């Protein structure tokens, strides 16, 4: 410890001189102090001298320089696999009692010399010393990531990893240990013997299917040490068996992939139970079955094409739209149209409005019904009626003639993406026939294609989109799309570009914007190891995000038991983490009060059990050996924990680290100096006061 000054140290002479001068000036021979004891006068003079001297010294900004020496003991990180696979085999009692006692002794043995940090890992990493082998997944790489993040700059002597080597989450731990900060010692748990077992290894499936369509499943079934036996594979839906197959096991290490096609018969989240029958002598039956969840959507968009007269464009449009199974197309001629147009998501009007009286009524019906519409103009279109329909474009026709017009993509179009290949093909497509005249387009319209007449590029729209109230409107000012479909096949050998062009238009127009003021977003399926998280948004009448009001939610399980929650505000929105929920079917209702209105949002989700830890029951000790060998450690077996402790304790390269740190601190920041000066001045003042010197 040392005091240093920012100014030359000989300035201390002036500080002492200042203290002496003030003390002498106050306590020189004076009649005021003649009656006082000489030692009392000298005491007051000394107090004033030291107070003034210390204050003067502090004006020199002295610094206290200290050298700190800190010894850090080596850290030993001990991590125990807490997943279900550890106790799947016959030694479950051993791991819960005898092994647990030996593990505690190992931690105590290492703790006598080192600082021990004990972790458990499975689907998450936690610093704790209690293990119940209940976690549903194993992420070894996540453990090493956590160790590197927490102890990257610490004196880590060794890492002890107790596991069966089976991981089913994260990356291969061998690659993670390339940046290991210490030698890894592994404790080989589990059983490497192949035991009798029937395993439903995996079920591959899509998350969504559409009502009335068929959807595929791919089931991978395995069997160990059951050559010559037979098992039944069955799929149940709503307690109804929808598939069954007998599997004959032809080898001791058997695997078979079974393709299955099922029909989506009911909308909503559907649960399918996949089951393999059990055989006598199996290691466990928990890996014989699993549940999968498929969202069956009754979401086929209904598209109505109404043509003024029969036209090849109509067939081209229908064929392009029906490529996507999500769309159901209905084609009608204007003369045969049923007046009821409700229930359609999009109406395509080909050369309507026309001269026919029913055409104008149809246009008004579409507008009043609030249905998105796609207008295709042609020689039969009555332009005067089109202009008065308020569709964002007015055409002043000349001589009732038409122009042959090439399409030119507008580079500033942003309503949806148009890839470069499609743009190139559009430039090659043959011309369309458009009304000849002057085009006056609304500023609110967004142009996708412009007209090119001969070699002259114009700003006149060939294809544009606009809004009529809340309804989306698309207008193609020319006919002859069937030529584009034929040209696409001639250029590319298929109709993909034309189909993509029409699909993008239909998708943009038919998808309705969610205008609700309160929305709750959540996945419809979770596993029991996942936290159930909700996001909510609340809007005012101007559709601005707000979150002043409190949002409450009630989650109801299959037994009609309610669990209340309250959302947390995040920025301008809301979030709720409901944590991990037991397997089952759940419904929820969220409510929020805004002014005098109460808004609600309802939905359903499912939490499924996770049996991935029981799929593979053969321990992977080779992985543990590779982890240890690649980092300079060793692998020990479950009955060699004492030897492991002795090995680490005897390593000479695991030593304490000594840190020397120099610190500079302003002396003026020491509070005790303030109180010392205050004490000296106060003592002097009280003495003078009591002696009558004031």
Alpha helices in 112-259 (DSSP H): 140-151, 173-176
Token readout for 566 is 């309250």
Tokens 């079934």, residue located: 221
Token readout for 188 is 């080989």
Q: What does pTM read for this prediction?
A: 0.59
Is there a contact between 356 and 382 (Cβ–Cβ < 8 Å)?
no
Residue 614 is given by DSSP the state: G
Q: Is 474 exposed, middle or buried (0-12, 13-18, 19+ CB in 10 A)?
A: buried
Residue 590 pLDDT exceeds 60: yes
Axis-axis angle for helices 496-510, 420-428 (nearest 10): 110
Looking at 62-76, 348-362, 400-414, 437-451, which range is the least confident one? 62-76
Residue 694 pLDDT exceeds 60: no
Is there a contact between 474 and 374 (Cβ–Cβ < 8 Å)?
yes
Is there a contact between 74 and 160 (Cβ–Cβ < 8 Å)?
no
Residue 692 pLDDT exceeds 70: no
Torsion, Cα 17 23 29 30, to 10 degrees, reads 140
Residue 428 pLDDT exceeds 80: yes
What confidence score (pLDDT) does residue 400 get?
81
Residue 12 is given by DSSP the state: H
Q: What does the pLDDT average to over 322-338?
A: 86
Sign of CA dihedral 468, 471, 472, 476: negative
Is there a contact between 313 and 375 (Cβ–Cβ < 8 Å)?
no
**Confidence label for 649 from pLDDT (cuts 50, 70 and 90):** very high
Torsion, Cα 467 468 470 474, to 10 degrees, reads -50
Q: What does the pLDDT average to over 148-160?
A: 90
Residue 658 pLDDT exceeds 70: yes
What confidence score (pLDDT) does residue 495 get?
93
Q: What does the pLDDT average to over 338-353?
A: 87
Looking at 177-181, 254-258, 665-669, which range is the least confident one? 177-181
Residue 31 pLDDT exceeds 90: no
* Complete domains list, the chain, with CATH: 2-68+664-690 (no CATH), 74-193+618-649 (3.40.50.410), 197-294 (2.60.40.10), 301-510 (3.40.50.880), 518-608 (2.60.40.1930)
What confidence score (pLDDT) does residue 32 get?
62
CA dist 406 and 214 (Å) reads 42
Question: Per residue in 272-295, pLDDT tens?
Answer: 999 999 999 888 888 888 888 888
Q: Which residues, 6 or more positions from 131, have their beta carbon under 8 angstroms from its beta carbon?
A: 80, 82, 100, 120
What confidence score (pLDDT) does residue 524 get?
84
Number of H helices, E strands in the chain: 15, 36
**Confidence label for 7 from pLDDT (cuts 50, 70 and 90):** confident
Q: Which residues, 6 or more positions from 604, have their beta carbon under 8 angstroms from its beta carbon?
A: 268, 269, 524, 585, 586, 587, 588
**Confidence label for 299 from pLDDT (cuts 50, 70 and 90):** low
Axis-axis angle for helices 312-321, 496-510 (nearest 10): 80
Q: What does the pLDDT average to over 367-373?
A: 89
Output the CA angle 486-408-319, nearest 5 degrees: 30
CA 395 vs CA 432, 441, 451: distances in Å: 17, 9, 14
Is there a contact between 350 and 314 (Cβ–Cβ < 8 Å)?
yes
Task: Give the mean pLDDT of the chain.
Answer: 88
Q: What does the pLDDT average to over 418-432?
A: 92
């Amino acid at each position: 410890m040392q005091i240093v000054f920012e100014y030359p140290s000989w300035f201390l002479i002036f500080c002492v001189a200042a203290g002496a001068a003030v003390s002498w000036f106050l306590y020189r021979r004076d009649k005021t102090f003649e009656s006082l004891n000489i030692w009392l006068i000298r005491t007051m003079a000394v107090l004033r001298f030291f107070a003034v001297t210390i204050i003067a010294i502090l004006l020199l900004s002295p610094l206290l320089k200290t050298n700190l020496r800190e010894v850090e003991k080596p850290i030993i990180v001990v991590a125990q696999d807490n997943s279900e696979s550890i106790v799947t085999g016959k030694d479950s009692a051993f791991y819960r009692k005898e092994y647990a006692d030996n593990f505690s002794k190992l931690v105590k043995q290492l703790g006598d010399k080192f600082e021990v940090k004990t972790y458990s890992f499975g689907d998450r990493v936690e610093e704790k010393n209690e293990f119940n082998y209940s976690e549903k997944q194993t992420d070894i790489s996540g453990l090493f990531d956590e160790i590197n993040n927490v102890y990257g700059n610490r004196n880590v002597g060794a890492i002890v990893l107790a596991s069966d080597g089976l991981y089913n989450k994260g990356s291969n731990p061998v690659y993670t240990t390339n940046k290991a900060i210490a030698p890894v010692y592994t404790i080989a748990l589990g059983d490497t013997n192949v035991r009798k077992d029937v395993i439903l290894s995996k079920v591959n499936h899509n998350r969504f299917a559409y009502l009335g369509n068929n959807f595929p499943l791919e089931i991978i079934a395995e069997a160990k040490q059951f050559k010559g036996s037979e098992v039944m594979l069955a799929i149940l839906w709503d307690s109804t068996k929808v598939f069954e197959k007998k599997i004959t096991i032809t080898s001791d290490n058997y695997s078979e992939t079974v393709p299955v096609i099922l029909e989506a018969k009911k909308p909503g989240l559907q649960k399918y139970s996949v089951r393999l029958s059990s055989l006598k002598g199996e290691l466990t039956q928990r890996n014989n079955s699993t549940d999968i969840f498929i969202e069956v959507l009754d979401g086929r968009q209904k598209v109505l094409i109404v043509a003024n007269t029969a036209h090849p464009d109509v067939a081209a449009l229908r064929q392009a739209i029906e490529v996507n199974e999500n769309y159901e197309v209905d084609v009608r001629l204007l003369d045969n149209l049923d007046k009821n147009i409700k229930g359609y998501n999009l109406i395509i009007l080909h050369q309507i409005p026309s001269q026919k009286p029913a055409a104008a009524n149809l246009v008004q019906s579409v507008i009043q019904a609030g249905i998105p519409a796609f207008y295709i103009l042609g020689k039969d279109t009555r332009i005067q009626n089109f202009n008065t329909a308020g569709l964002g474009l007015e055409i002043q026709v000349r001589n009732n003639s038409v122009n042959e017009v090439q399409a030119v993509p507008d580079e500033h179009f942003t309503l949806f993406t148009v890839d470069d290949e499609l743009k190139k093909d559009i430039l090659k497509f043959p011309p369309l026939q458009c009304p000849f005249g002057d085009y006056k387009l609304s500023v609110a319209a967004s142009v996708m294609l412009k007209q090119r007449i001969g070699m002259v590029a114009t700003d006149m729209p060939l294809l544009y989109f606009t809004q009529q109230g809340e309804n989306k409107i698309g207008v193609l000012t020319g006919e002859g799309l069937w030529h584009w479909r034929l040209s696409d096949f001639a250029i590319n050998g298929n109709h993909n570009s034309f189909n993509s062009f029409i699909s993008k238009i239909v998708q943009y127009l038919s998808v309705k914007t969610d205008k609700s003021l309160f929305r709750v977003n959540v996945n419809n399926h979770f596993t029991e190891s996942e936290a159930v998280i909700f996001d909510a948004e609340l809007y005012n009448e101007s559709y601005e995000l707000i979150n002043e009001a409190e949002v409450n939610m009630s989650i109801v399980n299959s037994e009609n038991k309610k669990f209340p929650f309250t959302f947390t505000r995040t920025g301008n929105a809301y979030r709720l983490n409901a944590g991990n929920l037991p397997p089952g079917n759940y419904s929820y209702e969220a409510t929020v009060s805004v002014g005098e209105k109460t808004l609600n949002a309802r939905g359903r989700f499912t939490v499924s059990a996770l049996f991935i830890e029981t799929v593979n029951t053969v321990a992977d000790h080779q992985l543990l050996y590779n982890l240890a060998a690649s980092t300079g450690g060793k692998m020990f077996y479950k009955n060699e924990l004492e030897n492991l402790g002795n090995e680490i304790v005897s390593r000479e390269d695991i030593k304490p680290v000594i840190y020397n740190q120099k610190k500079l601190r302003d002396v003026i920041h020491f509070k005790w100096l303030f109180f010392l000066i205050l004490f000296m001045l106060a003592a002097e003042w009280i003495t003078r006061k009591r002696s009558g010197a004031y």
